[in-house]
A and B are shown apart, each in its own frame.
Chain A
Amino acid sequence: MTAVLAAPPLHRDRRRWAWGLGGLVVLGWSLAGAGLFSGPVLNPSGLRQFGRFAAAALSPAHDAEFLRVLAEATLVTVAYAALGAALAVVLGSLGAVAVSRTTWGRRRAGWTAVRGVLAVPRGLHEAVWGLLLVNVLGLDPWVGVLAIGIPYGAVTAKVFADLLDEVPRGGYEALLASGAGRGTAALYGLLPQAAGGLLSYSFYRLECAVRSAVVLGLIGAGGLGYQLALSFASLRWEQVWAAVYALAALCVLADVGGRAVRRRVAEPRSADGSRPARDRVLVVAGLGSLALVAWSWWFLALSPATLTSARTVDQLSYVLDAAWPPATEGDLLTAIGSAAVDTVQMSVIAIAVATAGAVLLSGVAARRPGTGPARWAAGLAVRLILLLLRAVPPPVWALVLLFVLLPGVLPGALALGVYALGVLGRLVAEASEEVDGRPRAALRASGAPPLGAWLYGVLPALGGPVLALALYRWEVAIRDTVLVGLLGAGGIGVLLSGRIAAFDWAAVTTVLAAIVLLTLAVDLVSERARAALR
């Protein structure tokens, strides 16, 4: 966060103008693609249906039987998250060795190749992994664990490798010079220094895994998302809201716990000022996580034998045989092309909506000590609303918005936008808490109204960090677009779910390849744009 918030240079940068204009053109193109300039997009007669959904928020289902079902589903979700994150950390640690610069030294070609391989598991959304795995493993708890563990493992490997590569190398080189092997030198010279970062990131992955475990439920892998999908298919809004509240509570818990632990890792306490003592909170958190992983293993009754059973091998070879060679008919490629355009447009609109909303709300959502109780209450209310926006999964938003919008790209795009607003709103509020408060205070003291002081005292300093966050969220949004599509809201996900439904594995391979390429391209553009911002 602090890296993002470094004071922007004051000179005008041509590259930024080019990127800014380019961004506006893409946004205009996306809005035109959504039909915003070519006819009505609203469907006011659907307000009654939307009202039914909204009204149910105040009367969530709370009969004992349903709550019992929800509680069990919550445990399944937690278990998926814990085991998925644990698997990701294990895979990430092994993978980090394979992809770190330290391993490859000057052999750049090898390093680039390995990083390229990692992009494949990373480019596919957890839900896509889930759908593919369900076809191989059937109704098995491994589906949820692997669907989180594989893509997370790839991300973790990259981050772990970067952390190892970035620590000061003095100790490592000294050990090498004194004759230690490269493995030993890395173990004693690099690992201890990177340990804090690695631990912190592992907890961050656990937090994210909770959210992913919910999403996996939506595609039928069990847990809270599965209960939500069941209630959702029959439009029982009271039950949907009960599941959403359970989800929000779980996310808050993961969030608060994870952040507390990460803060402790970042600022180790020293007992008497001489040398840092063992931090009890961290020990409890570490042991607690290990216990959670062990409990999850027991609770889901995972059996490693399933992964190597003859049946699994049969099914895997069945699917792989059918999936190769990939389909290359002209019809399919055309369909992929137009679906990819829809996907990009949806993600661009989503991020534009979310960014604008997040900036507008940040003034209220940010915690600002020393203000009155009314301001405090308003801030709390906005933060709670943001929490609910990100607790309702995007596919639910997509159907609900389809009541009040005409069909097309827009309902899906806005669904993603609303969800991304929930996430970005919090991040932007946090960024605005960290902005230097003095310009605003000076403006206020010289008589500027609150809005004016915010516009001229806060917004300019907030611009850079917000754009960087928005670009980063765009990379996430393109993956989420695939998810929303899987559940019918348009874009390339629709194509994927259609081909899976028809068991056309050769076409599935082609669509998957297109998705990986699309996410790679978006990552690349976003990375370049963020570099221009720095």
Chain B
Amino acid sequence: MSLARAARSGGPADALPASAVHAFSRRTLLAASGLALATTLAACGRTSPVSGPSDPSGPLRIGAIPDQDPEVLQRLYGIVADALSGALDLDVSYAPVTDYAAAVSLFRTGDLDLVWFGGLTGVQARLQTAGAVPIAQRDIDADFHSVFVVNAATGLTPSDDLALLAGRRFTYGSETSTSGRLMPAFFLREQGVDPDGFPGGPGFSGSHDATLALVASGTYEAGVLNEQVWTSRTAEGAVDPAVVRYARTPAYSDYHWLLGPSAVDRLGEDLPDRLTDWFTGLSADDPGDAEVLELFGAGSFIPTEAANYDQIEEIGRDLGLIN
């Protein structure tokens, strides 16, 4: 014991029995070597399982807002990434995101280069990221709709009169979804219904599928969701018979591909044009292209421009979703 104390106060180490030195330094030694090993290995260019590589010369990273079944998104964008990669001779990787706001932030930070945004999130991302350019939209995006659904027990029959929904328990989808919240709120207000005035306040189910389930259960008497999701769930037979289609909104512009400025810096001034050309050149006659188009539920992609979303920007400001 006394020898160990001598060692700690700087006594001659070689005079000590081996065990004393050993007991003192074993843990420190292992910890130090363990950490050194870890740092060395980390420096070997391993890719994190959480995020992909983000070095400046890295590949084109594409993403999408989590607006529908994430499993489908993963498959869909895996195929798009492969097709883009082959056509443009670039490495293209898909990074999934679970949150609308995170998709916008990651686009602003340059973690995501090319993102499939909804109408509102596209506007938010473009306003926050100087130099961002819309690349393309689907043919159906220029003519997009939402559907209002009601629980059969309400006894409501299909109608265009949204005012009848005013006194009902009502749920939107995700708070910042264009088709699940923003545009339905706009059309409700056009018909004189306060979009936030439902009894107990409107619900935010979080996803189109959750909206369907909550209206089916009767927890909410009415709800609204993306027409595409409604159509595909109906075709699958996945919609509970207790859910009835009530009304369809007028057309509005929605989804689009938005490209960030850092990708243009890295990959060349002509990148926006190459991307637009590739998307608009996808043809249903080509089997490979047809797969991509079918997964997007599109007949073709068409060019788009920022002015197409002016209306969304205006409504978003009114509802306090754009500052």
Contacts and interface: CB of A to CB of B under 8 A. Distances in A.
Given A219-B98, A294-B35, A498-B175, A301 B42 contact: yes
A43 B31 contact: no
B213 A222 contact: no
Contacts of B204: 488, 494
B219 A501 contact: no
B47 interface: yes
A488 B111 CA distance: 27
B278 to A, nearest CB: 25
Nearest to B70: A230
A138 B50 contact: no
A497 interface: yes
B50 A222 contact: yes
Contact of A139 (B101, B106, B219): B106
Contacts of A503: 101, 104, 124, 128, 323
B213 A135 contact: no
Q: Main SS of the interface on chain A?
A: helix
Given A226-B98, A407-B203, A408-B200, A301 B47 contact: yes
B318 interface: no
Contacts, number: 173
A433 B309 CA distance: 65
Given A134-B105, A230-B98, A497 B175 contact: yes
Nearest to B96: A230
Given A138-B111, A219-B98, A43 B50 contact: no
A522 interface: no
Nearest to A286: B27
Contacts of B39: 297
Contacts of A404: 217, 219
Interface residues of B, number: 66
A85 interface: no
Given A297-B42, A298-B42, A406-B219, A235 B213 contact: yes
Contact of A298 (B41, B96, B175): B41
Contacts of B59: none
A533 to B, nearest CB: 37
A407 B169 contact: yes
Interface in B12-43: 23, 27, 30-31, 34-35, 37-39, 41-42
A72 interface: yes
Contact of A43 (B95, B207, B218): B218
B4 interface: no
B104 to A, nearest CB: 7
A503 B108 CA distance: 12
Contacts of B321: 501-502
Contacts of A497: 175
A138 B105 contact: yes
Interface string A222-237: 1100100110011110
A299 interface: yes
A300 interface: yes
B214 A402 contact: yes
Contacts of B42: 297-298, 301-303
Contacts of A221: 50
A487 B206 contact: yes
A310 B289 CA distance: 40
Interface string B35-78: 10111011000111111101000000000001011110000000
B97 interface: yes
A526 to B, nearest CB: 30
Interface in A131-179: 131, 134-135, 138-141, 144
Interface string A275-295: 000100001001100110111
A298 B46 contact: yes
B176 A230 contact: no
Contacts of A75: 49
Contacts of A141: 48, 50-51
Nearest to A399: B210
B180 to A, nearest CB: 13
A280 B295 CA distance: 58
Interface string A422-438: 00000000000000000
Contacts of B98: 219-220, 226, 229-230, 233
10 contacts: A49-B217, A134-B99, A138-B111, A230-B96, A298-B37, A408-B200, A501-B101, A502-B321, A503-B104, A504-B320
Given A49-B216, A298-B38, A303-B42, 10 more contacts: A43-B217, A134-B99, A138-B111, A139-B51, A139-B102, A290-B30, A298-B41, A301-B47, A315-B108, A498-B175
Give me the 6 closest cross-chain CB pairs, A-B, nearest first.
Answer: A46-B217, A220-B98, A294-B38, A139-B51, A138-B111, A294-B34
Interface of A: 43, 45-46, 48-50, 72, 75-76, 131, 134-135, 138-141, 144, 219-223, 226, 229-230, 233-236, 278, 283, 286-287, 290-291, 293-295, 297-303, 311, 315, 318, 399, 402-408, 487-488, 494, 497-498, 500-504
